[in-house]
Amino acid sequence: MSARPDSAPVRIARYTEADLFVFCTAALAAAGADAETAEAAGRAMLHGSRLGVDSHGVRLLDHYVTVIAGGRVKGHPEMRFVRRLGAVATLDADDGHGARAAYYAMDHAMAAAEQFGIGAVAIRNSSHFGPAGAYALAAAERGFVGLAFCNSDSFVRLHAGAERFHGTNPIAAAAPVDGGRPWLFDMATSAIPYNRVLLYGSLGRALPPETASDVEGVDTRDASLVEMLAPLGGAFGFKGAGLAGLVELLSAVLSGARLSFDIPPMGGPDYATARNVGAFVLALQPSAFLEPEAFQAGLARYLAVLRGSRPASGGEVMAPGDREWREAERRARSGIPIDPATALAFDRIADRFSIPRPRPLAG
């Protein structure tokens, strides 16, 4: 195993969200991104880092700088809607950053939902968009139910399979809650995201069982041996594979983007050729379906009964998003932790572009 010995603990520095955002946007701008791209990518990354989704937080900055500077992702895209019909549209992202495309598409979906009660946008010619929950949450924060999906290059085997097929193909949903944090659900259809494999490797930790496989499709807990990810579900992985297929249908087939197994690898070595990743966002206006008070009453009762459910011994029952909001409050007090590999990447980026490195918090 590649786990780090207990005698050699990993030192984790912590930073404020504001300082990280300034550094990320400055680095992206220096790499060639326009202001809208830098802001969207920074916003999405800090969503991940703020809520404890570190696999899709600021550790992505090094990759985003690489693909923008290399030309794979356009720093100044000219995104345009190529099809519109009532509440639905198709957005050509012009090989721009996935976060910019997804936020832009969700804004359009919400505008359509205000008029029609529902709005949906399929996205093609996009790129890696980071945490799917960021775009669902953007809708919930404005009173809509939001959903977001994205395909990605093949890295997940099929159930009982021994080769890469689907991407991690995430599903995210969020809903507004009166007087509380939004209900927020964000999951990969793989048992674990690959960025979390990298994070475990950086921290010297063993992977959970039944989450990743070696080159033969055999389960491994050693991050250095991972060749593919397992579909969600363990012994019932056909469920995760089926959900990944649903995401493929919405994100790629419906938008005209590439299927996962046709997308060039995220990790290169080619950082100049665009990948044509697909995505799909949906916004629902609750008041189009029932009275707003009835919607909030139903959601409040659902959450109250859920959180009041009897837990198993030693367990804690939480609603989707509870863990993330709790972590966000903790990090607002103590700072956002940065793993060693990301800290080294920050050093390289700061030196490369001659920009100030964020200063870690004392302690």
Confidence check: pLDDT of 7 > 70: no
CB 261 within 8 A of CB 164: yes
- Domain CATH number, residue 87: 3.30.1370.60
Confidence check: pLDDT of 249 > 70: yes
> Same domain for 180 and 111?
yes
Sheet containing 118-126: order of strands = 80-85, 88-92, 118-126, 277-284, 145-150, 171-175, 183-187
pLDDT at 277: 98
Helices (H), the chain: 17-31, 35-50, 61-70, 98-116, 133-140, 194-203, 238-248, 292-307, 322-334, 340-353
Q: CA-CA distance, 226 to 224, in Å (whole number)? A: 6
Domain interval for residue 214: 191-230
Residue 254 belongs to a domain: yes
> Same domain for 226 and 363?
no
Amino acid found at 299: L
Last residue of a domain, one of 212, 230, 248: 230
Amino acid found at 271: Y
Q: CA-CA distance, 103 to 100, in Å (whole number)? A: 5
pLDDT at 161: 94
> Same domain for 161 and 132?
yes
Confidence check: pLDDT of 257 > 80: yes
Residue 305 belongs to a domain: no
pLDDT at 287: 98
The pLDDT tens digits for 52-104 are 999 899 999 999 999 999 999 999 999 999 999 999 999 999 999 999 999 99
Residue 324 belongs to a domain: no
Lowest mean pLDDT among 1-5, 199-203, 289-293, 310-314: 1-5
User: Angle at Cα 65 formed by Cα 62 and Cα 70, nearest 5°?
Assistant: 125
pLDDT at 51: 98
- Domain CATH number, residue 341: 1.10.1530.10
> Same domain for 66 and 97?
no
pLDDT at 10: 63
Confidence check: pLDDT of 195 > 90: no
> Same domain for 153 and 276?
yes
Domain count of the chain? Answer: 3
Spell out a b/e string for 24-47, using b for 16 or more CB atoms within 10 Å of the CB, else e: bbbbbbbbbbbebbbbbbbbbbbb
Residue 242 belongs to a domain: yes
The pLDDT tens digits for 156-185 are 999 999 999 999 999 999 999 999 999 999
For residue 8, name the pLDDT band (cuts at 50, 70, 90).
low
Work out the percent of the chain whose per-residue pLDDT is above 70.
97
Work out the percent of the chain whose per-residue pLDDT is above 90.
90
pLDDT at 3: 44
* Rounded alpha-carbon distances, angstroms, from residue 4 to 7, 206, 345: 8, 9, 20
Confidence check: pLDDT of 5 > 90: no
The pLDDT tens digits for 295-340 are 999 999 999 999 999 999 999 999 999 999 999 999 999 999 998 8
The more confidently predicted of residues 204 and 33 is: 33
The more confidently predicted of residues 200 and 30 is: 30
> Same domain for 202 and 151?
no
> Same domain for 153 and 225?
no
